[in-house]
Structure 1
Amino acid sequence: MTRCRLCGSTALESVVDLGATPPCESFLAAERLDAPEPAYPLHLRVCTDCWLAQIPPLITPEETFSEYAYFSSYSSSWVEHARVFVEDAAERLGLGEDSFVVEVASNDGYLLRHVVDRGVRCLGVEPSVNVGAAAREAGVPTLTAFLSPETGAAVRAEHGPADLVVANNVYAHIPDVIGFTKGLRALVADDGWVSVEVQHLLTLIEENQYDTIYHEHFQYYTVASATRALASGGLTLVDVELLPTHGGSLRLWARPEEAAGEPGRRVADVLAREKAAGLQELSGYTEFSARVAKVRRDLLRFLVDAAEEGRTVVGYGAPGKGNTLLNHCGIRPDLLPYTVDRNPYKHGRYTPGTRIPILPPERIAADRPDYVLVLPWNLRAELVEQLAYVHEWGGRLVFPIPELSIVEVER
Structure 2
Amino acid sequence: MRTCRLCGSTALASVVDLGATPPCELFLTADQLDLPEQTYPLHLRVCTDCLLAQLPPLITPEETFTEYAYFSSYSTSWVEHARTFVAGLDLRPEAFVVEVASNDGYLLQHVVERGVRCLGIEPSANVGAAAGDKGVPTLTAFLTPETGRAVREEHGPADVVVANNVYAHIPDITGFTEGLRALVADDGVVAIEVQHLLTLMELNQYDTIYHEHFQYYTVASAQRALASGGLTLVDVELLPTHGGSIRLWARPQGEPSARVADVLAREKAAGLHELSGYADFAARVAKVRRDLLRFLVDAADAGKTVVGYGAPGKGNTLLNHCGIRPDLLAYTVDRNPYKHGRFTPGTRIPILAPEAIGRDRPDYVLVLPWNLRAELTEQLSYVREWGGRLVFPIPELEVDE
Q: What range describes the TM-score normalised by the shorter chain of this pair?
A: over 0.9
Q: Confirm whether residue 77 of structure 1 aligns to residue 73 of structure 2.
A: no
The question of whether the paired residues in 2 share the 8 Å contact of 1:96 and 1:119 is answered with no
Could you say which residue in structure 1 is the equivalent of 2:125? 129
**After superposition, where does 1:384-403 map in structure 2 within 5 Å?**
384-403=377-396
Paired with 1:346 and 1:388, the residues of 2 have a C-alpha distance of 23
Q: Is 1:383 aligned to 2:379, yes or no?
A: no
SS at match of 1:63: helix
Structure 1 residue 127, shift from structure 2 partner: 0.1
Partner of 1:277: 270
Whole-angstrom CA distance in 1 between matches of 2:226 and 2:341: 41
**Which one-letter code corresponds to 1:41 in the other structure?**
P
User: For the residues of structure 2 that align with 1:145 and 1:393, how far apart are their CA atoms?
Assistant: 48
Show the counterpart of 2:209.
Answer: 213
Match status 1:35 vs 2:35: yes
Structure 1 unaligned residues grouped into runs of 5+: none
| Match for residue 328 of structure 1 among 314, 321, 336 | 321
CA deviations on 1:136-190 (whole Å, 9 max, x unpaired) are: 1110000000000000000000000000000000000000011000000000001
Kept after mapping to 2: 8 A contact 1:185/1:235: yes
SS of the residue aligned with 1:296?
helix
- CA-to-partner distance for each residue in 1:22-74, whole Å, 9 max, x for gaps? 00000001100001100000000001111100000000000000000000000
- Partners of 2:47 and 2:83 lie apart in 1 by 36
Distance 2:382 2:92 in 1: 43
Instruction: Tell me by how many angstroms 1:406 deviates.
Output: 0.3
Q: 2:163 aligns with which of 161, 167, 172?
A: 167
The one-letter amino acid of 2:105's match is G
Query: In 1, distance between residues paired with 2:150 and 2:313?
Result: 32
Q: How many Å separate the matches in 1 of 2:146 and 2:31?
A: 39
RMSD, aligned CA: 0.5
Structure 2: distance between partners of 1:185 and 1:388: 46
| Aligned mates of 2:57, 2:133 — CA distance in 1 | 33
Deviation digits for residues 107-149 of structure 1, max 9, x if unmatched?
Answer: 0000000000001100000000100011011100000000000
- One-letter identity of the residue aligned with 1:29: T
Q: Following superposition of structure 1 onto structure 2, how do residues 151-166 of structure 1 map, counting pairs within 5 Å?
A: 151-166=147-162
Give the letter for the 2:29 counterpart.
A
Aligned equivalents of 1:386 and 1:137: distance in 2? Answer: 27
> In the TM superposition, what is the alpha-carbon distance from 1:96 to its structure 2 partner?
2.1
- SS of 1:41's equivalent? strand
Q: How does 1:238-253 map to 2 (within 5 A)?
A: 238-253=234-249
Secondary structure in 2 matching 1:335: coil
Query: Could you tell me how far apart the structure 1 residues matched to 2:174 and 2:323 are?
Result: 36
In the TM superposition, what is the alpha-carbon distance from 1:248 to its structure 2 partner?
0.2
TM-score by length of 1: 0.97
Other-structure match for 2:16? 16
SS of 1:140 mapped into structure 2: coil
The DSSP-based 3-state class of the residue aligned with 2:293 is helix
Alpha-carbon distance in 1 for matches of 2:229, 2:328:
47
Correspondence 1:299 to 2:295: no
Whole-Å separation in 2 of the counterparts to 1:177 and 1:74: 29
Q: Distance in 1 between matches of 2:2 and 2:68?
A: 30
The runs of 5 or more residues in structure 2 that have no matched partner are: none
Percent identity of paired positions between Structure 1 and Structure 2 = 83
Aligned match of 2:115:
119
User: Which of 224, 230, 234 does residue 234 from structure 1 map onto?
Assistant: 230
In the TM superposition, residue 11 of structure 1 has moved relative to its aligned partner by: 1.2
TM-score, normalising length: structure 2? 1.00
Name the amino acid aligned to 1:239.
D
Q: Answer yes or no: is the 8 Å Cα contact 1:6–1:177 preserved in 2.
A: yes
Alignment length, in residue pairs?
401
| Partner in structure 2 of residue 268 of structure 1 | 261
8 Å Cα contact 1:52/1:220 also seen in 2 = yes
Tell me how far apart the structure 2 counterparts of residues 178 and 353 of structure 1 sit (CA, whole Å).
33
Describe the SS at the equivalent of 2:400: strand
